[in-house]
A = this chain, B = another copy of it.
Amino acid sequence: MMRASGADMAEDRKSAPFAYDGLDRIFHEKARLGILTSLSGQPKGIGFTELRELCGLTDGNLSRHVQVLEEAGLIAVHKGYEGKRPHTLCQLTDQGRARFADYLDVLEQVLRNAARVTRGDGASERAASPKPA
């Protein structure tokens, strides 16, 4: 109990620079990282089939991850028809977009830490190298 004060907790955090608490598992799982990256680029949403192909997932795997993301309020799933065929559209929610951006900020920090300790900032320099605008 004595160690639970705010000051002590701040001290704990400071002393655990590689705890990476901000790497929320809901985003960090690699299939979901692919799904959210795909959806981020398409504000109007992506059909289930196209999303499956972009992410190289099976129907079952994509369904499972889509359900997890929908239950967390990160994506919206619209079930409808294209002609007579069922068509499922997946779309990032505003909350999903904001929280994914936060996750990406943490990931960027992870990479920067790793570059600093392992490669003398080589990775950051590469990320900063000229590329097409």
Contacts and interface: CB of A to CB of B under 8 A. Distances in A.
Given A16-B54, A101-B118, A127-B127, A108 B111 contact: yes
Contacts of A35: 18
9 contacts: A16-B55, A18-B35, A21-B56, A23-B30, A37-B110, A40-B117, A104-B115, A108-B126, A112-B127
Contact of A113 (B37, B97, B108): B37
A115 to B, nearest CB: 7
Interface of A: 12-13, 15-21, 23, 25, 28, 30, 33-35, 37-38, 40-41, 53-57, 97, 100-101, 104-105, 107-108, 110-119, 123-124, 126-128, 131
Contact of A114 (B17, B23, B37, B124): B37
Contact of A34 (B18, B123, B127, B128): B18
B104 A111 contact: yes
A30 B40 contact: no
A20 B29 CA distance: 11
